Structure 1
Amino acid sequence: MTDYDVLRVFCGPSGGYGNELGVVREGSLLPGRDDRQALAAKLGFSETVFVDDPERGVIDIYTPASRLAFAGHPCVGTAWLLDVPELVTPAGEVGTRLDGEFTWIEARAEWAPPRTLRQYASAAEVDALQVPPPGEWIYAWAWEDEAAGRVRARAFPGRGDGIDEDEATGAAALLLTDRLGRALNITQGRGSQLLTAPQPYGWVEVGGRVVLER
């Protein structure tokens, strides 16, 4: 079995929760896309990253079922692990920075995969949602405190690949921030925390805590 690290990305204030991420630091050991896809499916994380050049930050991202040009929580987690000024993804160059307990990336909304952003009237309605049948990728959200920019969210990939609910989803948070045009403090899933802030010229920062699980 190829060696890999397991991180939790977008952890809550106490260090709990967060979305697990697999990172294969020596991506050269599995250079083929089919082999990478097979390992991502076997590991079963919502995303697995293969690092092709740790010094330049060149990475390749897979879900259990497909390859992604960009994804939020894999970029935040890998930025923390590699401690590089940028990551190179098929979508483009992702700026990164570490700021105390938070790791930040800067990306563009058009890089994110399509998501249906579905607003609900209250956080309680979001909490009560059942996992929908496979179909569209839904990011369900509601204001907890609109004036303060606090959001309650849950994510349902709808891919039918065993990931019924995504614990923390940076790309969807990026899309929501771009749509609303304001900084957000998002509580997603069971208790993960994502921070976002719009930047000039169509860029958006997404940040969170990262913990090395094993």
Structure 2
Amino acid sequence: MIDHARDLVSVHDATERLLTAAAKLDNAAVTEPSRLPGWTRGHILAHLARNADALVNVLEGRPMYVSAEARDADIERDAPRPLDVQLTDVRATAARFQDTGAAPADWSRTVELRNGVTDSASRVPFRRWVEVELHHVDLGIGYELEDLPEEFVERETDFLAARFSGHPDVPSTRLTDGTHAWSTGRTADAPAVTVTGSRPDLLGWLAGRRDGAGLTTDGGPLPALPPL
């Protein structure tokens, strides 16, 4: 069962790790490319702040973003800001998200995210945890997939395997780290390929953060995954 209150604590801890690490940067480093194509580190910090605001909107029953264009424009607007402004914004918006999450609410209710996607309100804190952890890695400042909390890696791998489950463009695939296995893709078929590797490498591949070079298969190439 999803424990939203526990996830909120994990979000807070992950945010503090990110803020502490990012505080060691300088203004020039914020303008340098991140690991995400086309985005600087400033884009990532701006996105994290605006995403916190957007998830507050979700929890309070408003549209997550006014539009996709407005979302992108806000990130572009905020990306060039100095480091101190970026960090203040990330911290303040994170605090608003925590305050909203602490308010009495029906956590079993269904909420709407982007592009018509719906989910239980109880999963929103975990979705924020995903944003903070993976984008901390994307900053390229020494925090790697291997540094992610074990619980997070397992749960996000579960989530992404389920996301691709039944996808017509993904062949039936079995993922394993040697101790645990996940199934994804066209699961009605007999498994077409078994992909083996460490949990960080499996997560990195599923999340589009690694090309799968650290993974092996039981024959043939890695399946091609659609963008998230």
| TM-score computed with the length of structure 2 as normaliser | 0.28
Higher RCO, Cα 8 Å, sep 6+: 1
The structure that is helix-richer by fraction is 2
- Please report the TM-score for the alignment, with normalisation by the length of structure 1: 0.29
Point out the structure with the larger strand share: 1
Between Structure 1 and Structure 2, whose CA radius of gyration is higher?
A: 2
